[in-house]
Amino acid sequence: MSPPALSFKAMGQVYQTSSGPLEALRAVSFDVSRHQFVAVLGPSGCGKSTLLRSIAGLLPPTSGSVDVFGHPVTEPRDDVGIVFQKPTLLPWASIEDNVVFPIRHKTGRVSAEDRVRARELLAKVGLAGFEKRLPSELSGGMQQRVGIARALHLNPDILLMDEPFSALDALTREEMGFELLRIWESQPKTVLFITHSISEAVLLADRVLVMSGRPGTVAEDLAIDIPRPRGVETTGSKAMQDYSGYLRNLLLKREA
Ligand SMILES: Nc1ncnc2c1ncn2[C@@H]1O[C@H](COP(=O)(O)OP(=O)(O)OP(=O)(O)O)[C@@H](O)[C@H]1O
């Protein structure tokens, strides 16, 4: 049997800070199977970004383990793409050059097909016509969408997304959610998606993990049994309302 795409085993993370050790995560254990879409909800500061950084190979866990496809993560991997909260684009490079930057970094060259694919992805995230602009000429929400196109360009097996839609207006946010689902359905990948939006988590994910306050751990692991493909009609469905209501109560109870 093939190993899960992601596997956390009693994983913990303690940061050394100027005022002493800070325990961000404690005994985090869960698996994500290949091509599953998992959303993570939890209060601010509970360690959600820390979780992603450990999978991305940017931060070794201080206890327990994090495995990707059955191997401990020791460094950043080409098959793991990440969309950060802030996109950190190269300020001197055009939008298109920013999107092809990871392939240039990986292979040392950019083919004509790579550029065609970059333009296709930019069109999918609503940025057709902006290919030759500089990041400073785009709004924050548009820059965030460039970050999404850049992460998708290498077509990673695992896509880590840290509040990727937080800088978008409500309508664009919903459209981007549906576009992400279309991309995920046509090019299946394992997604770990951090959000503060309960309805976004329910609409997109197969499973929602709810984290406790710091030190963060997985407090609830809820399967979202809503048929796919999901679309605008899903947002008004009873199932969607029931799951969202359940999660809202759970989060409110945990905060109290
Ligand atoms: N590099 C660091 N050094 C020290 N402490 C850190 C570092 N990064 C994060 N922390 C602390 O670890 C805890 C978890 O941070 P993290 O950013 O993972 O939380 P989060 O759940 O993603 O928060 P938010 O929802 O606000 O983005 C916080 O208390 C934060 O202050």
Strands 190-194 and 37-41: parallel
What are the CA-CA distances from residue 157 to residues 32, 93, 103 (Å)?
Answer: 13, 26, 15
Per cent of the chain over pLDDT 70 is 100
Between the CA of 214 and the centroid of ligand 1 the distance, in Å, is 9
Mean pLDDT of 111-134: 96
What pLDDT is recorded for position 86? 87
Q: How many whole angstroms separate alpha carbon 96 and alpha carbon 130? A: 8
Tell me how far the alpha carbon of residue 167 lies from the centroid of ligand 1, in angstroms.
Answer: 19
Closest ligand 1 atom, residue 50 Cα: 18
For the chain, what's the residue count? Answer: 256
- The tens digit of pLDDT for each residue in 162-212 reads 999 998 899 999 999 998 999 999 999 999 999 999 999 999 999 999 999
Confidence (pLDDT) at 160: 97
Closest among 3, 7, 4 to 65, alpha carbons compared: 7
Atom 18 of ligand 1: nearest residue by CA position? 47
Asked if residue 215 has a cis previous peptide bond (ω within 30° of 0), the answer is yes
CA atoms lying within 13 Å on the CB side of residue 215:
14
**Distance between Cα 129 and ligand 1 center (Å):** 37
pLDDT tens profile 141-159: 899 999 999 999 989 999 9
Report the C-alpha gap between 47 and 55 in whole angstroms.
Answer: 13
Asked if the bond preceding 229 is cis, omega within 30° of 0, the reply is: yes
- pLDDT over 90 at 253, yes or no: no
pLDDT per residue over 28-76, tens digit each? Answer: 999 999 999 999 999 999 999 999 999 999 999 999 999 999 999 999 8
The predicted-structure confidence for 201-226, as pLDDT tens digits, reads as follows: 999 999 999 999 899 999 999 999 99
Residue nearest to atom 17 of ligand 1 (CA): 49
